Structure 1
Amino acid sequence: MTLVKFNNGLKNNFADAFESLVNDSFIADRLVSRVPAVNIAENDNEFHIELAAPGLKKEDFKISLDKNILSVSAEKKAENNSETKKYSKREYSYNSFVRSFTLPETVDYSKIEADYTYGILKLTVAKREDAKYQSREIAVK
């Protein structure tokens, strides 16, 4: 059994009108983010930056460091496919993007590593030894 909502062609409220507008594929395509989502975490020894970029290959990424700005860009090479897909909905399509991150002074710029697995680009940025948190107990005199 299928439930169908009838409203005689009239929009009952703003939410219905907005939902209709967003579901219009022309508008929805423009509302979808054109850059990958990012997670940034930190522990005592390093920073972890993760970018969700499915559908790309390792060769598509370019990672560069200019002073304290870490830039991640990607450009997907066009593949000539005899079978063209006609999408009814497309929520991720990263043909090209650039994300930049300002690194703090505590970073060891010579120890930045990248790994791309299962659609996630993982960057590990090590901290300098002198910048790592040091914990100790302080005696009361």
Structure 2
Amino acid sequence: MNLTKKIATLGALAVIGAFTVSNAANVGVINEEAIYTGYNGFGAIQMQIEKLRGEYGPKLQTEFNKLNNFKTDAEKQAYFDKNVRSIQEKYNQEEAKVLAPLDTKVGEAIKAVANEKNIDVIAMNPSSVGAVKEGNQVIDLTQDVVARINK
């Protein structure tokens, strides 16, 4: 899952997290985008992703341009399914391979920091902390996680 999709997904998780957070004693919040961009090796990862986009982008653009030649939605869909989808899937797989080591590192760091700070629930969006019951402790773990992944 690329970073943009991941961030969009986190928005939905924040709503769920906000609901769950209302009964927690210790709530940790993280800004996943800040964690990923705070990783010292993120520039190299971005370069790899840009290289993939450079490789797959023109292929996809050519195929999308061909879609304009079809008159019906059914023809367009059939062409898309036959020619475009496989290119997109291959790109997504390649991008996931590039991001996988960092995804693993971030996940492990979040778990470790949450355990160290005795966090009951983690909300993936700092704006969701408004749903926390009065008196509960809210801790921003973002910088702690960034520090851990950069060790």
TM-score by structure 2 length? Answer: 0.23
TM-score by structure 1 length? Answer: 0.24
Task: Name the structure with the higher strand share.
Answer: 1
Looking at CA atoms only, which structure, 1 or 2, has the larger radius of gyration? 1
Task: Name the structure with the higher helix share.
Answer: 2
